Amino acid sequence: MTVTTVGIDADDTLWHCESLFRLTHQRFVGLLAEHGDEARIEAQLAATEKRNLRIYGYGAKGFTLSMIETALELTDGAVSTRVIREILAAGREMLTEPVEPLPGVEHALATLSERYRLVLITKGDLLHQEQKLAASGLGDLFAAVEIVSEKDADTYRRVFERHGTGADQAVMAGNSMRSDILPALEAGAWGALIPYPLVWAHEAAQAPVGHERYVELGAIAELPAWVDRVAAL
Amino acid sequence: MTVTTVGIDADDTLWHCESLFRLTHQRFVGLLAEHGDEARIEAQLAATEKRNLRIYGYGAKGFTLSMIETALELTDGAVSTRVIREILAAGREMLTEPVEPLPGVEHALATLSERYRLVLITKGDLLHQEQKLAASGLGDLFAAVEIVSEKDADTYRRVFERHGTGADQAVMAGNSMRSDILPALEAGAWGALIPYPLVWAHEAAQAPVGHERYVELGAIAELPAWVDRVAAL
């Protein structure tokens, strides 16, 4: 099988992201502790996020707006402006948090980039994702960067057509079954799941059963050898 | 001169945008009327936006966060949560406002797309810009869409390289001297300013003097003939 292109997810594949969201969730629950228990606050926040996803999309700015909206709803407007200020600050901190590649990322990308066209494929705030890539120092290893509003099969078809020889000769690797693996397989690509300890509820999905183009790896360090094996089939 | 590619700005070139921001500004000033006069409120909002531009980038979500922050600052935390709610609602309305092409846009794009590769080049929220393009019904006229975090000379070099034969054989058209014209000229492209009655203060800039690749047009309807003249030079 010829493999020309390897697509790689960014958040929680190349660097921590969900852990930062979880910390911000904890901070949010703490700020509203007198207005409800953790389960109630989290449920309300999840409902707000889900309702807003269609207009806000993914990323820290929309998440910050959803936290403010949730705080107003949960307290029936009785939230203090100190709490609103804290939420704004938490959102800004998410956007300016230092970025550090996860263990093994740099070596794996360097190895892959010698043999394949590497394309970063990620959702989220456009500017924030560009800034994280720049801060990570990994930018030069990628032949192209695609920041997209949604990861569905059409997205992968389009990206692998533009930066290679089509999805059929491409591998997609990432931590999200729902966003990185299932739609890439649907587009006809190979899919390598690299689990991250935390998964945002919205990204959870069942693994495909007995799919010949799917693999779950223990770490990104295993990715180059697996892609080479696919290419040698 | 060969011309292969025509880049077109979106907001205030293809459809109204700044007028919607102005309406939202007026609404914001009205909400805070008891805490300051219009000049003071606008000055504070402009300062907040400018300070946040580096982390929020362009678009309605960052603008909404900046409005909330300004309301907290202007009132020293005494703003009511009703006002915060209204600001969130105003931001959501900006993101869901119907989109209608400005007069002459459809015909001009259809004419241009017969002879040149049309590329939409715009800043702002990724998802929102995609949604506006879809809602406008103009999507099929473009060979490519580039939603970028900043419009500088490097952006135009990269985009015109990717979707054509380089900036030297490309025209950029839009309403912003600062974002659409000056950096495109710097990259070596031709620049056609199509003024819109309102200009965001951040986008204002001096017109170039005596630049042979620059023109100011009265309306987008004049663009196809001007590009044809350039191509016939």
Residue B197 has a pLDDT of: 83
pLDDT at residue B1 tops 90: no
Average pLDDT, chain B: 95
Residue A204 has a pLDDT of: 76
Residue A149 has a pLDDT of: 93
Strands B214-216 and B144-147: unpaired
Looking at per-residue confidence, does A119 or B205 come out higher?
A119
Contacts of A84 in chain B (CB under 8 A): 68, 72, 81, 84
> What tens digit of pLDDT does each residue of B219-229 get?
999 999 999 99
Say which residues have a Cβ less than 8 Å from residue A140's Cβ, sequence separation at least 6.
none
Q: Most A CBs within 10 Å: which of B64, B67, B121, B127, as the mutation test of the A interface?
A: B127
Residue A22 has a pLDDT of: 93
Joined together, the tokens standing for residue A208 give 């495909």
CA distance B121 to B147: 6
Q: Give the residue from B5, B1, B2, B230 showing the smallest Cα distance to B116.
A: B5
Contact A72 B84 (CB under 8 A): yes
What is A177-233 written as a DSSP string? IIIIIHHHHHHT-EEEE---S---GGG--PPPSS-TTEEE-SSGGGHHHHHHHHHH-
B232: buried, middle or exposed (CB in 10 Å: 19+, 13-18, 0-12)? exposed
Angle, helices A38-56 vs B126-136, to 10°: value is 40
Residue B75 has a pLDDT of: 97
Strand order across the beta sheet in which A144-147 lies:
A144-147, A117-122, A5-8, A170-174, A190-193, A214-216
Would you call B92 an interface residue with chain A, using a CB distance cutoff of 8 Å?
yes
Contacts of B134 in chain A (CB under 8 A): none
CA distance A184 to chain B (A): 20
pLDDT at residue A232 tops 80: yes
Q: Most B CBs within 10 Å: which of A126, A128, A131, A155, as the mutation test of the B interface?
A: A126
Torsion, CA A169, CA A173, CA A176, CA A180, rounded to 10:
-30
Contact B88 A72 (CB under 8 A): yes
Q: Most A CBs within 10 Å: which of B49, B51, B56, as the mutation test of the A interface?
A: B56
Confidence band for A68, pLDDT divided at 50, 70 and 90: very high
What are the two backbone dihedrals, phi and then psi, of residue B131, each rounded to the nearest 5 degrees?
Answer: -65, -40
Q: Which residue of A has its CA nearest to B52?
A: A92
Q: Give the residue from A142, A119, A120, A108 showing the smallest Cα distance to A225.
A: A108
Contact A55 B96 (CB under 8 A): yes
Q: Which of the following CATH numbers is that of domain A5-16+100-232: 3.20.20.140, 3.40.50.1000, 3.30.1330.10, 3.30.70.3270?
A: 3.40.50.1000
- Kindly provide the ipTM of the predicted complex, given to two decimals: 0.90
What are the two backbone dihedrals, phi and then psi, of residue A43, each rounded to the nearest 5 degrees?
Answer: -65, -40
Would you call A57 an interface residue with chain B, using a CB distance cutoff of 8 Å?
yes
pLDDT at residue A5 tops 80: yes
> What tens digit of pLDDT does each residue of A133-177 get?
999 999 999 999 999 999 999 999 999 999 999 999 999 999 999
What is A1-57 written as a DSSP string? ----EEEE--BTTTB--HHHHHHHHHHHHHHTGGG--HHHHHHHHHHHHHHHHHHH-
Quickly tell me which residue has 């295993």 as its tokens: A222
Among B75, B126, B128, the residue with its CB nearest the CB of A147 is: B126
pLDDT at residue B199 tops 80: no
CA distance A50 to A56: 10
CA distance B151 to chain A (A): 12
Joined together, the tokens standing for residue A34 give 């007198």
Contact B65 A64 (CB under 8 A): yes
- Domain locations in chain A? 5-16+100-232, 18-96
What are the two backbone dihedrals, phi and then psi, of residue A37, each rounded to the nearest 5 degrees?
Answer: -85, 170
CA distance B49 to B65: 9
> What tens digit of pLDDT does each residue of B21-51 get?
999 999 999 999 999 999 999 999 999 999 9
Contacts of B147 in chain A (CB under 8 A): 126
Q: What is the pTM of this model?
A: 0.91
Quickly tell me which residue has 């205030």 as its tokens: B12
Average pLDDT over residues B95-113: 95
Name residues 150-179 of chain A within 8 A of B (Cβ): none
> What tens digit of pLDDT does each residue of A97-116 get?
999 899 999 999 999 999 99
Q: Give the residue from A15, A207, A8 showing the smallest Cα distance to A104.
A: A15
Residue B204 has a pLDDT of: 77
Contacts of A95 in chain B (CB under 8 A): 55-56
Would you call B95 an interface residue with chain A, using a CB distance cutoff of 8 Å?
yes
At the top level of CATH, which class does the domain A18-96 belong to? mainly alpha
CA distance B121 to A183: 27
Contacts of A61 in chain B (CB under 8 A): 56, 61-62, 65
Joined together, the tokens standing for residue B187 give 């990259």
Helix and strand numbers (H, E) in chain B are 9, 6
